[in-house]
Amino acid sequence: MRLLADTTPLRESRQFRLLFIGRTISVAGSQFTAVAAPVQVFSITGSTLMVGLLGLAQLPPLLFASFLGGTLADAFDRKRILLVTQFLLALASAGLALNATLAHPHLWVVFLLTSVIAALSGIDAPTRTACTPSLVPASQLPAALALNQISFTMSMIIGPAVAGVVIATSVAAAYWLDVITFGAAIVALAMMASMIPSGGGTPPGWRSAMAGWKYLRSQPAVEGAFVIDLDAMVFGMPRALFPELAGRVFHQPGAVGLLYAAPAAGALVGATTSGWIGRVDRQGRGVLLAVVLWGGSMAAFGFSPWIWLAVALLALAGWADMVSAVMRNTIIQLSVPDELRGRLSALHIANVTGGPRLGDVESGAVAAATNVRISAWSGGLACIVGVGFVARAYPSLRGWRLSDHTADPDHPVL
């Protein structure tokens, strides 16, 4: 059985290869801002709750823009949409950099511009996701999704780890590095051919968005895949605690970048050894088991007395999340026709990016009421309990099989 990641999509599809390169550069750069903003807020306010509220402030524009982005991705050339959003994201990061150079940076500017970035990401991310299934054969989709996870996790490792070092010297420099990476990402996108949605496109608007929502509600397995991820992110994602944990619990403030990067490091190990995932037939059950491991790792993280163990547990959680993500995306993408992929991808992106922001509020509020350790381990245990409820409420997710959706004698499933 294949263990290492299948790179066939990169070798055989120039379009996918360029999308992969642009995505890797863009996500890596965005992590400089993703780490710098909460660190800056904590530096200004000294409040973990305010760090959590930063995530909450980004949620409404993210959700609204995701619905809009999904309808745009199913209506217009997806390449053009990505070029415009990357340019506007660069401008927003430049604004954060200029604010950070002030003697007394404005807190409201950080909240405002990170909310703008969240909104633009709500358009950019579902558009990218909707592109992939049309660039590779159905039998290569799990491999392509695993490669996307490698791209994402490599970016999540390099970005936060380097950002932690850069931020120790200058928060503004971290924002400027984000701006620079957008230039390279735009060049990769410009080299791609146009990507027109199947059927010539669906007119955007509220009715178009609601069509995607109605389709989601008609597919219990897909809806269950959404709900299980929300459970994991709301209760088991303690990233709002990282600045306080690094500085006040582990007494190593410079290690905050390691805490942010550790889940991605584990996910990268999982993604580079993901060849087996496309051979697993019962992908729905695999998702449930992976989320249980995620929650258990986060609960153990809350009890860790040493930062090296905390980093290792976060890495194990990242490995489990990668497995869950590839299987969830396979379930979603193979259950959705191309003309609806932009809208369903938008709902999915709103879910996977909105969930951690709700998790920021949950973990920040529990930490404010108790302490950061209790917040971390209680969230992990709540995540595990949630898996039981999801498994019971969505039997079609529990029973989802890959063999029911693709038949390829060269790609047998277990």
pLDDT above 90 covers what percent of the chain?
12
The CATH number covering residue 84 comes to 1.20.1250.20
pLDDT digits (tens, 9 = 90+) for 341-352: 777 777 777 777
Place of tokens 């070029």: 83
Q: Is the pLDDT of residue 288 over 90?
A: yes
User: For residue 337, what pLDDT is reported?
Assistant: 73
Specify if 117 maps to a domain: yes
Specify if 412 maps to a domain: no
Count Cβ neighbours within 10 Å for each residue of 312-346 and write b for 16 or more, e otherwise.
bbbbbbbbbbbbbbbbbbbbbbbbbeeebbbbbbb
Cα separation, 409 vs 411, in Å, equals 5
User: For residue 408, what pLDDT is reported?
Assistant: 45
As a whole number of Å, the end-to-end CA separation of the chain is 10
Specify if 2 maps to a domain: no
pTM for this prediction: 0.65
pLDDT digits (tens, 9 = 90+) for 94-147: 999 999 888 888 899 899 999 999 888 888 877 877 777 778 776 677 778 778
Specify if 20 maps to a domain: yes
Q: Which domain holds residue 142?
A: 8-404
257: closest CA among 32, 414, 92? 32
**Long-range contacts, stretch 110-115, CB < 8 angstroms, 24+ apart:** 110/37, 110/40, 110/41, 110/44, 110/54, 111/54, 111/57, 114/33, 114/37, 114/54, 114/57, 114/58, 115/57, 115/58, 115/60, 115/61
pLDDT above 70 covers what percent of the chain?
92
Count Cβ neighbours within 10 Å for each residue of 10-37 and write b for 16 or more, e otherwise.
beebebbbbbbbbbbbbbbbbbbbbbbb
Specify if 198 maps to a domain: yes
Cα separation, 370 vs 383, in Å, equals 19
Place of tokens 């993210």: 62
CA 81 to chain centre: 19
Specify if 349 maps to a domain: yes
Q: What does the chain come to in residues?
A: 414
pLDDT digits (tens, 9 = 90+) for 31-71: 888 888 888 888 888 887 788 788 778 878 887 887 777 77
User: For residue 289, what pLDDT is reported?
Assistant: 93
Specify if 411 maps to a domain: no
User: For residue 203, what pLDDT is reported?
Assistant: 64
DSSP, res 334 = T
Cα separation, 301 vs 303, in Å, equals 5
Report whether 328 contacts 284 (CB < 8 A): no
Per-residue confidence at 1, pLDDT binned at 50, 70, 90?
very low
Q: How many domains does the chain have?
A: 1
Q: Is the pLDDT of residue 310 over 80?
A: yes
Specify if 3 maps to a domain: no
Between 309 and 50, residue with greater pLDDT:
309
Report whether 135 contacts 16 (CB < 8 A): yes
pLDDT digits (tens, 9 = 90+) for 237-249: 887 788 878 778 8
pLDDT digits (tens, 9 = 90+) for 181-230: 888 888 888 888 888 776 555 666 667 667 777 887 778 888 888 888 88
